[in-house]
Structures are given as C-alpha cells and as structure tokens.
Amino acid sequence: MAFSSRRGGWAHSLLPSSNSKSKIPRKGRKRTFIKDFFLANFFTIGLSLSIIFLLFVTFRYGVPKPLAFKSTNSRLPKFRKSVPRKPISPEVAAASGAAVDITTKDLYDKIEFLDKDGGPWKQGWVVNYKGNEWDSEKLKIFVVPHSHNDPGWKLTVEEYYDRQSRHILDTIVETLSKDVRRKFIWEEMSYLERWWRDASSTKKESFINLVQNGQLEIVGGGWVMNDEANSHYFAIIEQITEGNMWLNETIGVVPKNSWAIDPFGYSPTMAYLLRRMGFENMLIQRTHYELKKELSWNKNLEYIWRQSWDAEETTDIFVHMMPFYSYDVPHTCGPEPAICCQFDFARMRGFMYELCPWGEHPVETNQENVQARALKLLDQYKKKSTLYRTNTLLVPLGDDFRYISIDEAEAQFRNYQLLFDYINSNPSLNAEAKFGTLEDYFHTLRDEADRINYSRPGEIGSGQVGGFPSLSGDFFTYADRQLDYWSGYYVSRPFFKAVDRVLEQTLRASEMLIALLLASCHRAQCEKLPTGFAYKLTAARRNLALFQHHDGVTGTAKDHVVEDYGTRMHTSLQDLQIFMSKAIEVLLGIRQEKSDQTPAQLEPAQVRSKYDIQPTHRVINPPEGSAQSVVLFNPLERTRNEVVMVVVTRPDVTVLASNWTCVKSQVSPELQHDKSKIFTGKHRLHWRASVPALGLETYYIAVGFVGCEKAKPAKLKFATKSNHLPCPAPYSCSKLEGDTAEIQNRHQTLTIDVKLGLLQKISHKDGLQSVVGEEIGMYSSWGSGAYLFKPTGDAQPIIKGAGQLVISEGPLMQEVFSYPKTTMEKTPISHSTRIYNGEKNSIQEFLVEKEYHIELIGQDFNDKELIVRYKTDIDNSRIFYSDLNGFQMSRRETYDKIPLQGNYYPMPSLAFMQGPNGHRFSVHTRQSLGAASLKNGWLEIMLDRRLVRDDDRGLGQGVMDNRPMNVVFHILAESNISSTSNPVSNPLPLHPSLLSHSVGAHLNYPFHGFIAKKPQESAVQHPSRYFSPLASPLPCDLHIVTLKVPRPSKYSQQPPEGSRFVLMLHRRKWDSSYCRKGRSQCSSIADEPVNLFSMFKGIAVLNARATSLNLLHENTEMLGYNEQVGETAQEGPVIISPMEIQAYKLELRP
C-alpha cells in the first residue's frame, strides 16, 4: 500500500531541542592472567569437562538414539538452546505466564500519547550523536533493495502482474546479474509463481543462481504478506505453507527471515507460527508512532518476541522494528525525511515517481559531489544507528512496485555504489556500507551480539540471542499520525470477511475428505476422484491465501479488486462443494463410479447464486410417498449432537434417521427482512442430529410416511402496531400482551423488551442472572474511510419501536424475530434471538444465538457505522478480552488518553468481559469484526460501515459497495465454580472456558449439509448410511487444525514411506475456574498422551514424524519444541502442551 499520497503535510516542521540517549557502555575485558591460564591449560580443561559432561548425560538420559533427519536448509539456524531461568512446574508456568522485560500493556500505561512535534523527525526528536560511538566497533550498514508488490489493491493481482510485477522481476534478474555486489529481497510468492510460468528457462536459471549465491533472498515466502488483524490462524498457516512449499519444490530454498512492512498492526500469533515454521528473524514496520518513539528512546526497537503464556522461552523469535513513519526511502535512511528523499534516485527528473515534497530533489552522484553527498547520507545512517543497540544497521531501499525498469534500478544501484565506495575508502569514517539482504543483516547482527554484550543490568532477555530485551503483547490498534487510528479495517467489507471464513472451513472439510478417501479406500480406482480434483484444490488454497493479503481480508481495496477477490473465492467454494458431494457419495457407498466425470447425486444444502449474494437454503420438496435424503458431515473431532435446520415447501413432513427410525422434529415459518412480507411462505424444519467425529450421517425428510409423527408446528405470538400480519397455516397465532416476553429452555430464560424487540436479560436455572441490555446504534463518521475509524461523537441508538415482532415457540427451537422501527425511514437491520433444546447438556442449550440481517444500502446511511452494544451488569472496569487470529486471547483496556477509535480492537472470533465476581459475558462470531468496551459493563461490536470519503491513505475511494448480509453471534453467560483471576489486577490475558471453546468451534466449523437431487420412494428403504473414521472422539481441548494430503496430484508417485498425509493438532488452553467439562458431553482432556497409531478405526497409521507447521523441517528442536516432540511421534503417543500447535507427517492405509 503506497504512501505517496500523504507525504506533503510532513515536509515542514519545527525543531525542538532534545538529545538522544548514548549507547550502553560495554563490558571491560577480562584480566590477562586469567586469560593466560586458560590458554595454557585449554586442552586439559576442555577434555576434563567433556568427560564429566558425557558421564552426566549418559547417567541422566541413557544412550541417545540416532535421529534420522534431512534438513531443507543449507545452513542450520544458529539458535541457542532455550533454557528456563529456573525450573518451573507446568502449573506455575500456566499461572504466571511469560517473564519478559517489556509488555505492550506496560508501554500503553506509560506513554502519554501527546503527539509532540519532534522537528525533522516529526514523531520523534532531534537525533544527535557524539561521534565516538563507532571507534571500537565500526558501523556496518546494509542497504536492502526491495519492491513491495501488493497482490491486489488499486488494481487486481493480474492487472498488477501484467503492468508492473513481471517487469520488476525481469529487472531484478537482469540488473543483479551485472554485478555480484548488488542484492535484493522478494516476498510475495503469488507474483513469483505467476512470473515463473511465463519466464524463459534462461531467466529461471539466472533467478536460481542469484538465490544460491546470496544476491537474492526470498523473505517470508508466503503466497502473500498477510493481514494480522482479521486473518484466522488456519488461513495464515495455509498461505505461508502454500508459498513456502512451492518455493522449496521449485527453487529449492526455505525462507528463514520474515518481512512484514505493510500489515496495519502486528499479532504475536504470527511470531508463534513463524517460530514453529523454522523462521529465525522477523521485521515489522507499522506500529503506533508513539510506541515506536518510546522503544527508540530506550534502544528497544530490536527485541525477542515471546508468547504471553510461554514461561520456558520456547517461542522466542528475534524482531527488528523499523523506527519511522513509512517503509519508503524518505523514511528509512534516517530520521530526516527531507534529506533521505534526496537519496531516492528513482525520484530524479525523468522517472515516473513524484519529486520530493520537501523541495530538495536527488541528483546524480559524480566525483565532484560524492564526498558531500556520502557524508550527508552517512550522517543519517549514524543518527538512525543511535536508535539501536548494535553497530549493525539495516536500511531498506524501496517502495511500492519499485524497480520497474532497468533505468530505474541502475539509477539506484549506480549512485549508491559510488556513495558506498567513498564511505568504504575512508577508514576515518568508521563505517562500511554495502547492499545486503535480510540474511546478511541478521547474520552480521547476531555475530556482533555474540562478540559484544549489549545486555542491560537485570534484563531478562532470551537464551537464544543475547543483548536484547524480551517483549510480549500485540501491536493493535495502529496509528500512523495524530488521532488517525486504523480500526476501521477491522470491519470494512464485512460481507467478504464472512465469505473468507466460509471458504476456509469448506477447504478444511474438503482436505479432510480427500485424506479420508485416500486412507480408507483399497483400490487405485479411489485415487481418481481426489487426484483429478488436485488442480482445483490448489486453486482453492491459493484463492484463500490470496485473500489473506493485507488489502484483501482487510476490505481496503478498490471496488473492482474486491469483486475479483470475491469471484475467485466464489468459484473455489463451488468447486469444493461439488467435490465434497462426490467424495461423500464414495464414503457412503452411494457412488460406485469413482471418477470425477459423472455428476454428483447430492448438492449443497446452501447455495450461492453469485459471488456477492448471501447463500440461500435449497428448498426440499419431496412428493407424497417419497423421502429426500440429507447427509451431514461433521468436520470436528468429537461427536456432535445438535439441532439442525433445512427449508421445506410444506409443513407436513417427517424426519427419519439413517436406519429409518422416527426422529422428533419441529416446523416454523421462514422469516425475511421485508416489512411488507415478513413470511416467505416456506417453512424451517428443525430436528436433533447426531453425527460422529469427522463422520457422516444420513437423515430422510419424508412426506406421507406412515408410523411416524409429523413435524410439530411452532406456536406464534405477534406484536405489531399495524394489524396486517396474517397468521400463516398451519400455525396457531396469538397476540403478545405486556411490555416483556420470555422464551426458555431447560437451562436459561431470555427476557425480551417487547416495545423495542431487544434482548434484556438472561436468567439461568442455577440462579445466575445476566443483564444484557442489547442496543443497536449508529455512528456518524465524516472522517472515516476504508482504513480509519474517525467518529463524530458517540453512537446514537436507532431503535424507536419493535415494529413487527414474531415469537416462534416449539419443542426444539424458540425464536424472537424483530423487524424494528428505526430513526431512519428505511430500517437497516432486522434480527433474531434464538435458544435451542438439544440433547441433555448439549453445547447448543447453553448459548444464545443472535442473527442480525443488515442492509446498510442507500444514501440514508452514507458516513454511518452500525453497531450493536450489550450494556451488561458486569463490573469489568472497561477491560475486555478479544482473540488474536482465533488462536489466543489478548487483554484490552480502554484508555481515556487515546480517542474512542483507538480503543477499538480486532475481534476475529471472540470477545468477552469478566467481573471480579467471576461472571463472564462472551460473544462468539464467525467472521472478523471490531470490538470495544467504552463504558463499564459495555461490550460494543461494529457490524458494518458505509463511507463516502477516501481517508487519505492512498486507496482513493470510500466504502460504498455494501451488500445485504447476516452476522451471527453465539452469546454465553457463565459463572465461575472456583476462584478466578481479577481482570483489573492481572495484566495477562485470560482464557476461554472449555464450554466457550466448544461454542466457538461449533459456530466456526458448522455441519456441512448435502441434499439428494432426487427424492426416493419411502417404501424402498436403503441400508443405513453413515461413516465414522475415528476410533474414539479426541479430548475436548484438542482440535484438528487440518488433516490433509499436501500434494494429492503426486500421491501415487510418492513412496508410502514418505508419509503422504499431514495431521495438525492444536491444544487449546482453557480457564479451569469454569466448569471443567464445559457442562457439555466431554469425556476427556489432553493431559494424557494421544496415540496417533490408534486414532482411526479401519485405517492404519504406519509411521508418524513431527514436522514444522509449513511441513518443511523435521528438526523439532530447531522449531522451539521440547525434545520429546520428535521422539514420541515416532512411537505413537504424543503429548501436546496447552496452546501448542504440532504437525505430523503420517502414512495412512486401509
């Protein structure tokens, strides 16, 4: 994302007087007589220590087993072994969390957020240096040429490739080949793979040579540079793995340095995943400008990022944070952009880029001016160096879509080489400058940190890289200047944020079915279907990966680019659903022909007619005397008992199980967002379904089936000012009396305000009462855009009256539907509140389902942002917890010293509040949104936004392409059963309860329903059709992230001993202050080992090897795991620590 449109306002500034802090004094040398003693007796001392250590290890651990290990890296990472500071029990570790030097909470508490003008470096101070800082260790400068290529933003990925990216890659190959001193880094595999398809064999060979000789480094190597606020961890793993595996298979390298200069804030989830993928170092840029200033002042811009739960330092990864406003050249060479801009030689007259907005422009370097120019540039380098601890300096050299022509690249390389030559030929300058890669920089920095002790007294640091502080926390919400907080993109284009997650869970389910097909089938015939689908599977993986780009899932691209992303996802969704239909037929024995050619007999229960339209339920209409089969696939690792729903044309239907026994069911009218016609004329059929883990179950919807009770019609109650709501047949209707109404199941009673149609209260049968105080409101926001949220005042309630209220009461599902009267002429929202009666103690019985239908369409809603607010009675002191990437929780605190928009945070899947009495209020979502707690007891969630104006961040448009959409929340009110942490005094994040984890899993990984295209005669009863592949359900806190065959197209060519399947498991951490078994049907947790070899029934696991999360490393110690991970996998039983994700390569056979 470019910055070119927003530099002008930074050209002129005042110069306050301030001094930078001097470098930390280094430790003195050891006395010479000690050194002489060691040198004289070196061999004897070394041999003695070695023998003692060998005897100790043999006595303690026995004779070590040989390890079979093949590295994909040419150089093993130079990690020190992580050692806890002192022995810590798992219980203590879990309670205390990570010991670190810095937390982002501490930084927020300390910083005053005054936005003081710092002079040339507007957001910092006037940086000076003494001049002697480099006397003993010269300044080593690595200038890193780069080009930031967005896979979609103002143009689509294909348009960018055709107009810019292919020329950039051509340019890199040609210009680097001319001079071995030239270097470059490249990040996005989406563009590299596209170029590789077009490139000549000569260009490909040159590219590989440049990578192998260290001139060209692939950094990150994901399919895209993913967003870190809205992306789910499943999709992040997918997109990095897709890029890394293509890179390894095509070019033979595996990246180890991550480069993330443009995501709008950063998540520790990314640090964790990268560490477990074998990455050694990270670089980040867009963090709050006040936070950068604080870290710069204390020389803490380079640190070890540690996860908040990690008491044993196993998640540590080294991070370099860039100090200034942007990643462009004016903001990377040093603190004074007016000077740095003069060294962006692509801005010389004659090139396509804008001239320097500060008035002084770059000029060609020659023998006459080289001295003055080099000293001017070196002055900036030295000033920048004082912000860091070491004398190794990183200077990026690039911007969006740079190096597009040979002339441009030559201008940069030629001029800089002359400047470097001058600096390097003058020893008195105590500096050496050259082009470099990230690997060059980090390798030199680590070498310097090994030689010189930069640690501060009392600093915890890390056992992996000495001399740097440790840090935990996240970097949201990002502000780049003044009061401009980037919290708008948490919600922009929410329709497509929802499609993203549907594609994600459909891809995951399809991968599972491919693995189960190949694992459970005896004949080569069975390989035809999955291997024939391999091309479309790869396209689906890549379309999901592409949308994780930081201008994709963020909703911050131009309209036609959003359409391109949406169309790609829609195409893949359809492909996956067709494949799933056929795969299910094979697994159930319906489909005898195993090829991909014959049409499926099943079709998805929900269908999408177009990329930007909500899915609709396929209507079931069996003729008299016939039945239509419905097949449900359960993508979770435990048996699910759940009330499910399909739409039927007639209410007199019967539900039958796969063995043709009767199933109790309920029918209620289908409702819609239409003031003049609330009832569609169709019916919703509910019944209790039970589907085994990773399994399939069949049900039949029959008409005229003798011997079974028909679906029971719900009773309807109306509240409406106008009396034109007709009572649909065959339901009994009555008028609602009183100001409140109630719906209830065996665990909870909901109280509804009839006048407004809003949820007031949840009362539990155990005595817990939770005030909910639902309110729907609207911000007026004249300054907001796709990126920024800049409200004008507080949100105002918009509900004036209940409008039309319909209550449906039945034995399985009870619902309140409200089409409210609002302050606008056109109502932008209608909503349903539901509770379920499932099996006893089923997860569904404990939750409240809220479904909001939103239509923020038309001029009435210009510059409006729609929210729902729950004004509870929880005394949370404006502290709440929101998830990061669906992986972990983060503690959020509302600060008066930052504006409302800065107190909004990402909510990809969960937010909860907790009071000192232990009462909890949780809201689960199936798409990413933004959340805040602006007043005590309030939890506010933004649902949609419609904005006319561009917010001056380069996009050049507002967000006006709103679509009708549904947002579904699952709300949980809980009370603790034992003493729990006080959110005010505990700075660490709290964890969801076991029940809460289950609620979130059921919402985000729903049943996949398929319906037979043709009905069958109910007199002809087929044998029972179901599929159940697991020997027993997995423990309740263990989640299958994925079960897949990474390369199905090569399945038959790969030897079985190569372990062609991958199983990835995540052990969730949960709060034991709440009911241990989650009040749900939970039989075990993962304290005991899980035996991979006995996981399945009818499927044999022949071998298992631990691997990295990108599937490319098998040295588990290098990934930060403890030693047992690699060993136990080969033997079968595996123990996974809470929060860990572990991947295993397996071989499965029938």
**Which of the residues are catalytic?**
262
What's the rounded Cα separation, in Å, for the pair 1075 and 994?
8
Greatest alpha-carbon pair distance for the chain in Å reads: 104
**157: phi then psi, degrees, rounded to nearest 5:** -60, -40
Helix, strand, coil share (%) of the chain residues, nearest 5: 30, 25, 45
What tokens appear for 294 in the block? 């604080």
Query: Within a 10 A sphere around the Cβ of 80, how many other Cβ atoms?
Result: 13
What's the rounded Cα separation, in Å, for the pair 673 and 207?
56
Written as one letter, the residue type at 553 is V
1008-1012 and 602-604 strand pairing: antiparallel
Strand partners, 796: 778
Cα torsion angle, 275, 280, 285, 288, sign: positive
Q: Which residues contact 965 (CB under 8 A, 6 or more apart)?
A: 494, 495, 498, 614, 853, 854, 944
Contact (CB, 8 A) for 796 and 722: no
Cis peptide before 822 (omega within 30 of 0): no
User: What separation in angstroms does the CA of 572 have from each of 136, 283, 295, 549?
Assistant: 59, 33, 44, 17
Contact (CB, 8 A) for 4 and 434: no
Task: Tell me the DSSP string of 3-14.
Answer: -GGG-GGGS---
Q: Which residues contact 116 (CB under 8 A, 6 or more apart)?
A: 16
Quickly list H helices, 818-878.
Answer: none
Cis peptide before 730 (omega within 30 of 0): yes
Contact (CB, 8 A) for 316 and 462: yes
Q: CA torsion, points 765, 770, 773, 776, in degrees to nearest 10?
A: -80
Q: Using DSSP, state whether 1073 is helix, strand or coil.
A: coil
Chain centre distance of CA 450: 34
Chain centre distance of CA 1132: 30
Contact (CB, 8 A) for 129 and 382: yes
Written as one letter, the residue type at 756 is L
Written as one letter, the residue type at 801 is G
What tokens appear for 227 in the block? 């967003």
Quickly list H helices, 98-232.
Answer: 104-110, 157-160, 166-178, 189-198, 201-212
User: What separation in angstroms does the CA of 1024 have from each of 528, 589, 625, 693, 1027?
Assistant: 26, 11, 19, 17, 10
What's the rounded Cα separation, in Å, for the pair 1150 and 1148?
7
Q: Using DSSP, state whether 420 is helix, strand or coil.
A: helix
